């Protein structure tokens, strides 16, 4: 299944190089959860603060569907 996938801020270093014409569109095994994808990409789960699926707050056990948009953010400090 194809999903749009983005890792933001310090998590961006875990984003693989994509070799297609569609930036951030990745193909994952059908039935994969957010957690499965984070593990596959070696993203340290303890650094993940926010997960958004299709613009709505999501959870690691959410089972992704074809065409979903996934955004993952670390904790960020600011002033």
What confidence tens digit (pLDDT) does each residue in 34-69 have?
999 999 999 999 999 999 999 999 999 999 999 999
User: How far separated are the first and last CA of the chain, in Å rounded?
Assistant: 40
Share of the chain above pLDDT 90, in %: 75
CATH of domain 2-74: 3.10.20.30
Residue 72 has a pLDDT of 97
- What gap in Å lies between CA 22 and CA 40, rounded to an integer? 20
Q: Which two tokens stand for residue 53?
A: 């699926």
Of 19, 27, 9, nearest in space to 78 by CA: 9
Residue 24's pLDDT band (boundaries 50, 70, 90)? Answer: confident
Domain ranges of the chain: 2-74
Mean pLDDT estimate for the chain: 90
Question: Is the confidence at residue 1, as pLDDT, over 90?
Answer: yes
């Amino acid at each position: 299944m194809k999903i749009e996938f983005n890792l933001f801020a310090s998590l961006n270093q875990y984003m693989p190089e994509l070799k297609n014409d569609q930036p951030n569109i990745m193909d994952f095994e059908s039935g994969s959860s957010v957690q499965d994808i984070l593990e596959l990409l070696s993203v340290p789960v303890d650094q993940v603060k926010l997960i958004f699926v299709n613009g709505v707050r999501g959870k690691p056990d959410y089972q992704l569907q074809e065409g979903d948009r996934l955004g993952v953010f670390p904790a960020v400090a600011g002033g």
